[in-house]
């Protein structure tokens, strides 16, 4: 049971994580190329805790990262979507739509495709009035993606422990998103 929506794009299925996603999740968490800018490589037990945290966000807040399933292969390729640990009372720097895609799926436009669907959903279903992306300043690929979807650098921020990183905040308002949405 998913306990949340399923979104479909031309090439992807986005849905809340289920236990069957764990092997893919753990494989992604072990990839240096994927994890170097989002907290570093995580052992299998830590990957399970991260996935359980994401699932808990769905149960507690009604949103969280989606599992990203490639339609053609049925393969789990990442996680992306709305994220705000602790809700509005938490120390997170804002209403984030973030992404993490396995290295084998990089460079195919899949993160962009999924992020567009997730941002649409966050604005339309969650009623968010803005969206941010927390990006390591050295992560050129994620910066390029944020800019391709119309976000711009807003400020520097500190992500609270256990992540404990200084990052750049990219983002945009719902109005800016809707004004530029047709060109995406």
pLDDT tens over the chain, length 184 residues: 468 999 999 999 999 999 999 999 999 999 999 999 988 899 999 999 999 999 999 999 999 999 999 999 999 999 999 999 877 667 789 999 999 999 999 999 999 999 999 999 999 999 999 999 999 999 999 999 999 999 999 999 988 777 778 899 999 999 999 999 999 8
Please name each of the domains of the chain with its CATH number: 7-183 (3.40.630.30)
Looking at residue 161, its pLDDT comes to 74
Contact 143, 170 (CB under 8 A): yes
Looking at residue 60, its pLDDT comes to 93
Q: From CA 118, how far away is CA 44, in angstroms rounded?
A: 27
Looking at residue 1, its pLDDT comes to 47
**Among 108, 109, 94, which residue's Cα sits nearest to residue 169?**
94
């Amino acid at each position: 049971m998913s306990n949340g929506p399923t979104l479909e794009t031309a090439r992807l299925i986005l849905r809340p994580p289920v236990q069957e996603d764990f092997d893919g999740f753990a494989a992604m968490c072990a990839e240096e190329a994927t994890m170097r800018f989002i907290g570093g490589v995580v052992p299998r037990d830590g990957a399970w805790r991260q996935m359980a945290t994401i699932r808990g966000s769905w149960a507690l807040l009604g949103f969280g990262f989606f599992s990203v399933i490639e339609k053609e292969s049925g393969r789990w390729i990442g996680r992306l979507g709305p994220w705000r640990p602790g809700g509005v009372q938490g120390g997170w720097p804002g209403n984030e739509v973030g992404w993490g895609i396995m290295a084998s799926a990089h460079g195919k436009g899949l993160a962009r495709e999924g992020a567009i669907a997730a941002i649409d959903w966050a604005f339309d279903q969650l009623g968010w009035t803005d969206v941010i992306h927390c990006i390591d300043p050295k992560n050129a690929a994620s910066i390029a993606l944020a800019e391709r979807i119309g976000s711009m650098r807003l400020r520097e921020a500190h992500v609270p422990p256990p992540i404990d990183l200084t990052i750049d905040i990219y983002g945009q308002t719902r109005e800016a998103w809707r004004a530029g949405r047709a060109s995406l």
